[in-house]
Amino acid sequence: MQALMMNSQLMISSILRHADRNFPDTEIVSVTADNPRHRHTYKDFANRSRQLANALVKLGAKFGDRIGTLAWNDYRHLELYYAVSGSGMVCHTINPKLFPEQVNYIINHAEDRFIFVDLLVVPLLEALQAHLPKVEGYIVLTDEAHMPDTSLKNVMCYETLLGEESSEFEWPEFDENTASAMCYTSGTTGNPKGVVYSHRSTLLHAWGGSMPDVVAASYKETTLPIVPMFHVNAWGAPYASLMAGSKMVMPGPKMADGEALQHLIESEQVTFSSGVPTIWLGLLDYLQKTGKNIPSLKRVSVGGAACPRTVIERFKHAHDVEVIQGWGMTETSPLGSIFCRKSGMEDLSEEEIIDIQCMQGRGVFGLEMRIVDENNNELPWDGVAFGALKVRGPWVSSGYYGMSQEPGSQGCPVDEKGWFDTGDVATINPQGYMQITDRTKDVIKSGGEWVSSIEIENAAVSHPAIAEAAAIGRYHPKWTERPLLIAVKKAGEQVTTEEVKSFLKDKLHKWSMPDDVVFMDELPHTATGKLNKLSLRKTLEGYEFPN
């Protein structure tokens, strides 16, 4: 029997209509390259998004066309999110911090027809344009007064384009499985791969992510998404905030600037923010150095890499801010699991709660998790068994753009049972809290036992003289591999190998203790700011443990 309910398609434009009708006065505050503090409301934003949709039609962009963006978190980028997807085109966000040859590859692979570019990123495209034959025009995200003198061909000014258009536009209705946005993984090996989101996956992800025990998106909140809109849609904040009516504060190019972030949080009374651990370390150091505060901030979500314990402790003790650690990937939109308190936790000590915050959190409805052994057999959730983490659900990728989806091929990330292999190794405890111990390819296997590199790194960065640390496995004649710790000292600090080892003694099991500690001036990172262990292993290829 068929149900008798409306078969309304889940459309990104419906979020915009909802925000326009229900929260017309909610503010969006942005820092941009041409304005240190731009303010407008959801009503203005909805009008401008419709103007932009008309401008896209006038440019000749068609249903299904890829429209590239190279931009920071601000209101114009948000308008692109809604106008491009809302009119049936694909909003292809590109990370301006990637290597130029990767940006070049990604734009050509996606066959972007037009690129909307931030003022600060114009030089990158000037250098690349000769290699981008399919791009028909470049639109600089600024007004006439700030238009740069540029060699970009067929260049247009964003505000001039919008200014010529009507704010009336009827958002089209179409199949909710239509592509809405694209984001390429950074690809430490091989070329970046294009993840393609749909209207349906985007709405379900934003809905799932808004639940009270996830990020609790709310009309009462003022949210500062620091995680970039070019990296997995700023973890869904641009959609969840408009669904809920949260005031948005957008840091523009200032996302790694402790002073600017503190000022934004204080002056706009930000209550919730999201970002990767390095951003928070930078902000915490700035606050410690200056004695400044962030009293309005209540919660921060942290993900993208394991959150060091010291970030959780410093936020709690110095600023009374709760850290909500989440795990996810570009292919999971990105929300996979997230920390939440459960009843009964009131009886735990602060240390015990921090232990749980250091884990990667619990499953969110909409995304199923499991851990499996080498033969793809499911392992128990006993907090002891380690295995490859696999996931499935309506916001998980089933393939990559332009790649064969034949089972077993590179473009097909899904196994024969329909599960996506995350490439992470994890353990899950009986309460459902998951803990990532490594990337599959970074696992240290010593004498047949797995040693968690993340556990060693987290313990090492809690040393007051250590700024950053990486643990990798190196050849050992008896144990095949043993952990080697590579540490970067904080500016002006001194510490020796023996001091670090004795500091780690009561923090790690004997088996996880690194056999040696070496110091480097800096560690290699990927374009998304993650430790590049592949490159580190290459650098240390000839390394041998002291006898």
For residue 486, the cross-strand partners are: 470, 518
Part of the chain binding ligand ADP (CB under 6 A), chosen from 53-61, 314-322, 328-336, 471-479: 328-336
Instruction: Pick the binder of ligand ADP from 178, 241, 360, 446 (CB under 6 A).
Output: 360
Q: Is residue 327 at the binding interface for ligand ADP, with CB under 6 A as the rule?
A: yes
Q: Would you call the peptide bond into 334 cis, given omega within 30 degrees of 0 as the criterion?
A: yes
Q: Which of residues 434-453 bind ligand ADP (CB under 6 A)?
A: 436, 439
Q: Is residue 306 at the binding interface for ligand ADP, with CB under 6 A as the rule?
A: yes
Asked about 331 being catalytic, the answer comes back as yes
Asked about 445 being catalytic, the answer comes back as yes
Least CB distance from residue 312 to ligand ADP, whole Å?
12
* DSSP string over 241-307: HHHHT-EEEE-BTTTT-HHHHHHHHHHHT--EEEE-HHHHHHHHHHHHHH----TT--EEEE-SSPP
Q: Is residue 303 at the binding interface for ligand ADP, with CB under 6 A as the rule?
A: yes
b/e sequence 26-40, b meaning 16+ C-beta within 10 Å: bbbbbbbbbeeebee
Least CB distance from residue 435 to ligand ADP, whole Å?
9
Asked about 526 being catalytic, the answer comes back as no
In 3D space, the residue among 299, 301, 379 whose CA is nearest the CA of residue 334 turns out to be: 301
Part of the chain binding ligand ADP (CB under 6 A), chosen from 115-123, 324-332, 410-418, 505-513: 324-332
Q: Which helix (H) or strand (E) holds 82?
A: helix 75-86
Q: Is residue 178 at the binding interface for ligand ADP, with CB under 6 A as the rule?
A: no
Q: Which helix (H) or strand (E) holds 40?
A: strand 35-41
Asked about 511 being catalytic, the answer comes back as no
Give residue 337's region: left, alpha or beta (phi > 0; psi -120 to 50). beta
CA 251 to centroid of chain Cα atoms: 15
Catalytic entry in 445, 449, 499, 505: 445
Q: Is residue 197 at the binding interface for ligand ADP, with CB under 6 A as the rule?
A: no
Q: Which of residues 98-157 bind ligand ADP (CB under 6 A)?
A: none
Part of the chain binding ligand ADP (CB under 6 A), chosen from 196-204, 303-311, 343-351, 475-483: 303-311
The Cα 8–Cα 355 span in angstroms is 44
Type of residue at 488: V
Type of residue at 417: K
Part of the chain binding ligand ADP (CB under 6 A), chosen from 68-76, 235-243, 326-334, 464-472: 326-334
> Sign of the C-alpha dihedral, residues 542, 545, 546, 547?
negative
Tokens of 510: 């004997």
Q: Is residue 186 at the binding interface for ligand ADP, with CB under 6 A as the rule?
A: yes
| Cβ atoms within 10 Å of 22's Cβ, excluding its own | 14
* Nearer Cβ to ligand ADP (110/232): 232
Catalytic entry in 221, 322, 331, 457: 331
Instruction: Pick the binder of ligand ADP from 93, 180, 185, 333 (CB under 6 A).
Output: 185
Catalytic entry in 259, 450, 530, 539: 450
Helix (H, G, I), strand (E, B) or coil at 204: helix
Part of the chain binding ligand ADP (CB under 6 A), chosen from 12-20, 27-35, 63-71, 300-308: 300-308
Q: How wide is the angle at C-alpha 242 spanned by C-alphas 241 and 244, nearest 5°?
A: 65
Annotate each residue in 53-82 with x if it binds ligand ADP (CB under 6 A) or - if it does not, as one string: ------------------------------
The Cα 67–Cα 174 span in angstroms is 19
Judge whether 294 and 262 are in contact, CB under 8 Å.
yes
> Sign of the C-alpha dihedral, residues 338, 341, 347, 351?
positive
Judge whether 313 and 355 are in contact, CB under 8 Å.
no
CA 332 to centroid of chain Cα atoms: 11
Catalytic entry in 142, 185, 271, 427: 185
Q: Which of residues 205-234 bind ligand ADP (CB under 6 A)?
A: 232
Q: Is residue 424 at the binding interface for ligand ADP, with CB under 6 A as the rule?
A: yes
Instruction: Pick the binder of ligand ADP from 325, 333, 357, 397 (CB under 6 A).
Output: 325
* Nearer Cβ to ligand ADP (43/525): 525
Q: Is residue 397 at the binding interface for ligand ADP, with CB under 6 A as the rule?
A: no
Q: Is residue 85 at the binding interface for ligand ADP, with CB under 6 A as the rule?
A: no
Part of the chain binding ligand ADP (CB under 6 A), chosen from 115-123, 321-329, 393-401, 493-501: 321-329
Annotate each residue in 522-541 with x if it binds ligand ADP (CB under 6 A) or - if it does not, as one string: ----x-x-x-----------
Catalytic residues: 185, 331, 445, 450
Contacts to ligand ADP by CB under 6 A: 185-186, 232, 303-306, 325, 327-330, 334, 360, 422-424, 436, 439, 526, 528, 530
